[in-house]
Chains A and B, each alone.
Chain A
Amino acid sequence: MALTSPPQTRSPFSVWQALVQRPELLTLTLVLLLALVIGLINPVFFTPQSLFDLLRASTVTGIFALGVLLVLAAGGIDVSFTAIAAFCLYTTTLLVLNVAPDAPFALPLLISIGFGLLLGLLNGLIVHRFRAPSLIVTIGTQYMIRGFLLAFIGTKHIMNIPEGMDRFGRWSLFQFTTAEGARASLPVAFLLLVAVALLTWWILSRTLLGRAIYAVGGSVPIAERLGIPVRSVYLFVFGYAGLLAGLGGLVHASLNQLANPFDLVGTELDVIAAVVLGGARVTGGTGTVIGTLLGVVLVVMINNSLILIGVPSTWQKVVIGAIILLASGVFSRRKLA
């Protein structure tokens, strides 16, 4: 996990070996290279303000990505988390507005997390009970959850979100005014990402459950023969991804001061790409928290900062696609070797 320690280079060849064992080093290299290129072309990138923007933009994507990481590590995939997030953020906002509009942030937080957990458990239950590929199941639940939200709950944007969410969204950790008079701030919500990252790291690296998740991702028959309760692992990873979707959705609405039921769905492949660029394999059994966070920074940087260096917006998608291909190319070389 020690991100800060440089790779141990014993011979010229072991750089490649280090990459094989620690794919997140490649992600780190890509992040640093991209930051250097962007910063050299446009020094604005190196200001604290743009750093804060980057961290702010990474908060919600990062929370989602850590949930996806657990599912990928257990050998599954989840594309329904954006629909779960949209469902949780909108339903929670409506519910709180109608029942207890003055409640503190903890109430909507608990409701949203609860909804997310239930929907995630539903995914896990179907995947395990019917031995169905999780891609297919979560495509189905994505349609169901989003369709239910838009057909039965509502389609109107809610601008006046509840007091507690509003205050949480505006609450800053650091705040200062730059020489140009622009205000830069880092929202407290960023601490939630830090907390979730620490929790996820603890689960994956310090608990038996973490070992079980990697084992199931490596091979289900072997995991079963080792006596690992595969059913519980599935329920846990999908439940955790759903819970984090609920959390991320609510944070998203609070930060934007808006509950939009059409939000988020459609960005799931970006999040999955971030996790994969962080070194988790789609085939399961691998992936680290540090790598995932680096992958998130990489994707957010590509999405937000290319405009800073004058890549015309029409060419942005080509560049993003090329970077994803480049990075996955290196990771697949690792697999072939």
Chain B
Amino acid sequence: MGSWLTDKHIRFLWVANLIILGGAALVSRGQFLDPYNFQSMAKQLPEIALLAMAVMLAMISGGGGIDLSVVGIANLSAITAGIVAKSVAAGQGQGLEFTLVFVATALLVGTLCGLINGLLIARAGFAPILATLGTQLVFVGLGVALSGGPAVSLGYVEPFVELGNGSLLGLPVPFLIFAGVVGLVSWILTRTRFGFRLYLTGTNAKAAYFTGIKTPTILISTYTLGGILASIAGILIASGASSAKWDYGSSYLLIAILIAVMGGINPEGGSGKMLGLVLAAVALQMLSSALNLLGLSNFLKDFTWGLLLILSIIFTSSWTRFSFSPGRKGPS
């Protein structure tokens, strides 16, 4: 039933994407179809889609799974990595070392943060929403404390800025990185034993546990993977802005949740596909670029995103209701 439900979502998303694309092309008199516009969209998409992917993993794992700390992890990773990289490889001609140290530190911090979330949820039995609300504040607070408040400036370091700004064969580097991550994570979800066990845990944790799956280990790995994804987003944000700051992307959290839900990830756990997530992220990105192109207010964008989310709930839900009556569930 899970995949059947998501298929409805994916159909809705294809239709939404086509309507947005066609509408934007018409209203902007073809300007929207300019390759330059697509390039800039492909550059903006990855940051937020990676954060949404982290939220998606937490949601799939079930038990009210959600990760509110993704933005905090992204910024803390970038701030720590910036400070470390600047002190280790500050000299001229050390651009490559700088980049490597930065990326390694950021990934390490992301792993640690995700591991902390996972341990709090799986070992200490915290509700995910509370655990990650608390760690979000702690991570943001650590970012403030480490940087002292103002942005950590990274300067123009050659290979590093390419991560967020460069392009290869006409495609933006952040998009290529994103495509690689999408491929890897969907392989993990659909082709590995871990992915299978993750969906099973999300569907029914008790049943999964009694079939011999070590559900705590699954949860810890899932939140750790989410931390790593968030830190990749942090690297891209820092590289794009040439700096790291505790309040970058403060509006990203709800957008990330929005993308995950619009993508058909069931917040009650156990179902959700990478394709849905990517389609939802693309739809929101196109909508936001189209509204920008038309010179409309940013606030209209918020309104439209909210409307789209409610519409996706209405359409996907009423379709299901016509076919069979779903189990009655309370709000969660």
Interface residues of A (CB under 8 A from B): 74-77, 79, 126-127, 130-137, 139-151, 155, 216-217, 219-221, 224, 230, 234, 266, 269, 272-273, 276, 281-284, 314-322, 324-325, 328-329, 332-333, 335-336
State whether B303 touches A130 (Cβ < 8 A): no
A-contact bits for B210-226, CB 8 A (1 contact / 0 none)? 00000000000000000
State whether A318 touches B141 (Cβ < 8 A): yes
State whether A139 touches B309 (Cβ < 8 A): yes
Q: Which residues of chain B in 249-307 are interfacial with respect to chain A, using CB atoms and an 8 Å cutoff?
A: 250, 254, 257-258, 261, 267-268, 297, 299-307
A-contact bits for B119-163, CB 8 A (1 contact / 0 none)? 010001111011101111111111011001100000000000000
Which of the four size classes fits the interface of chain B? 35 or more
Q: Which residues of chain B in 294-332 are interfacial with respect to chain A, using CB atoms and an 8 Å cutoff?
A: 297, 299-307, 309-310, 313-314, 317-318, 326, 328-332
State whether B330 touches A76 (Cβ < 8 A): yes
Q: Does B68 touch A at the CB level, under 8 Å?
A: yes
Distance between Cα atoms of A15 and B301 in the complex (Å): 53
Considering the complex, give the chain B residue whose CB is closest to the CB of A147: B303
State whether A336 touches B125 (Cβ < 8 A): yes
- Other A-B contacts than A133-B268, A140-B309, 18 sampled, CB-CB below 8 A, are A135-B66, A135-B257, A139-B254, A140-B313, A144-B302, A145-B306, A147-B302, A147-B303, A150-B299, A151-B299, A151-B302, A269-B68, A272-B133, A281-B127, A282-B130, A317-B144, A321-B140, A332-B124
Contacts of B148 in A (CB 8 A): 314
Q: Could you list some 8 contacts between A and B, CB below 8 A?
A: A76-B331, A76-B332, A132-B313, A139-B257, A140-B258, A151-B299, A314-B145, A324-B133
Distance between Cα atoms of A155 and B139 in the complex (Å): 32
Q: Does B95 touch A at the CB level, under 8 Å?
A: no
Considering the complex, give the chain A residue whose CB is closest to the CB of B268: A133
Contact of B134 among A141, A321, A335 (CB under 8 A): A321
Considering the complex, give the chain A residue whose CB is closest to the CB of B246: A317
Distance between Cα atoms of A86 and B18 in the complex (Å): 34
Contacts of B302 in A (CB 8 A): 143-144, 146-147, 150-151
State whether A329 touches B124 (Cβ < 8 A): yes
Considering the complex, give the chain A residue whose CB is closest to the CB of B318: A130
Contacts of A141 in B (CB 8 A): 306, 310
State whether B317 touches A132 (Cβ < 8 A): yes
Prevailing SS type, chain B contact patch: helix
Indicate whether A216 sits within 8 Å of B303 (C-beta atoms), given known contacts A130-B313, A321-B136. no
Indicate whether A77 sits within 8 Å of B309 (C-beta atoms), given known contacts A324-B133, A324-B137, A332-B126. no
Indicate whether A143 sits within 8 Å of B309 (C-beta atoms), given known contacts A75-B332, A269-B133, A321-B138. yes
Contacts of B141 in A (CB 8 A): 314-321
Distance between Cα atoms of A219 and B258 in the complex (Å): 27
Distance between Cα atoms of A137 and B261 in the complex (Å): 10
Q: Which residues of chain B in 38-74 are interfacial with respect to chain A, using CB atoms and an 8 Å cutoff?
A: 64, 66, 68
State whether A131 touches B326 (Cβ < 8 A): yes
Prevailing SS type, chain A contact patch: helix
State whether A144 touches B328 (Cβ < 8 A): no
Contacts of B137 in A (CB 8 A): 317-318, 320-321, 324
State whether A77 touches B125 (Cβ < 8 A): no
State whether A333 touches B125 (Cβ < 8 A): yes
Contacts of B138 in A (CB 8 A): 317-318, 321-322, 325
Considering the complex, give the chain A residue whose CB is closest to the CB of B304: A147
Contacts of B254 in A (CB 8 A): 79, 139, 142-143
State whether A321 touches B135 (Cβ < 8 A): yes
CB distance from A101 to the nearest CB of B (A): 27
Distance between Cα atoms of A78 and B311 in the complex (Å): 19
CB distance from B170 to the nearest CB of A (A): 34
Contact of A134 among B66, B125, B257, B332 (CB under 8 A): B332
State whether A328 touches B309 (Cβ < 8 A): no
State whether A126 touches B145 (Cβ < 8 A): no
Contact of A147 among B66, B124, B134, B301 (CB under 8 A): B301
State whether B131 touches A224 (Cβ < 8 A): no
CB distance from A257 to the nearest CB of B (A): 25
The 10 closest A-B pairs by CB, nearest first: A147-B303, A143-B306, A321-B137, A317-B141, A318-B141, A147-B302, A144-B306, A150-B299, A134-B331, A321-B138
CB distance from B116 to the nearest CB of A (A): 10
